[in-house]
Structure 1
């Protein structure tokens, strides 16, 4: 199995389609990596990943908006095609198994995880703390 993980920002709002009776959420994630070249100059390289999330749980779609930072994980797929000039081309896309909302630029308040295999995935607040536990040590028989 080959697994790919990407953290980046959505380039535009997602699109929900139905293909052969199944729902698919399509979106594009941009990951920008900053580095210094051999002369010491700062450089940036942005990689765009086309994502397809095949799921019946389309409740996440309203949250997948332009600028939203996400973590996506899934299986990479290489697609071959012929360009208009007749030359061969290829693109990398991701068949998504899990999506995690990380927030918007400058906003770390929202976070949630959506998984293909989860029975009922719902967004969860990142700041959720466990409920306080009452002191039950006195009730234990040992």
Structure 2
């Protein structure tokens, strides 16, 4: 199964009790449709995701990044301490493709833009070598 969505928080690397590392993150998928009255209805679905192959990917998985994930979905239901029934969707990712848009990419773009502005503001030297 493939899903495309934006990260709702920065990825975290955790270590299991068996000393294996996993990257955990959350993705939001927005979907819209029109109801019988013609009103636009927006619906957001959240997935808790995990990636077991490499922890290096956590560096690029920052809040707001658009990602395309391939993997499988599982549902989980439980009863909270207060007796309330809870459920969520888990996505076990086998491949991750980043399409950008996260905090680190935005910061890098801002730094690059600042450097371009500095170069543009520099005046040519008065002394020419010829």
TM (norm. structure 2) is 0.72
Q: Secondary structure at the match of 1:103?
A: coil
How large is the RMSD of aligned CA atoms in angstroms? Answer: 1.5
The match for 1:29 is 27
Partner of 1:48: 46
**Corresponding residue of 2:100:** 103
Q: Distance in 2 between matches of 1:73 and 1:93?
A: 13
In the alignment, what sits opposite 1:124? none
Gaps spanning 5+ residues in structure 1: where? 106-142
Consecutive unaligned residues in structure 2, runs of 5 or more: 103-130
Q: Tell me which protein shows more helix as a share of its residues.
A: 2
| Aligned positions, number | 101
Aligned to 1:68: 65
Runs of 4+ in 1 over 3 A off after TM superposition: none
1:51-78 residue CA offsets vs partner (Å, 9 max, x unmatched): 01112x2221110000000011112122
> By percentage of residues, which structure has more strand?
1
Larger CA Rg, structure 1 vs 2: 2
Q: In the alignment, which residue of structure 2 is the partner of 1:17?
A: 14
Cα offsets for 1:28-61 (capped at 9, x unmatched): 0000012111110111100000001112x22211
Q: Which has the higher contact order (CA 8 A, sep 6+)?
A: 2
The TM-score, its normalising length taken from structure 1, stands at 0.66
SS class of match (1:104): coil
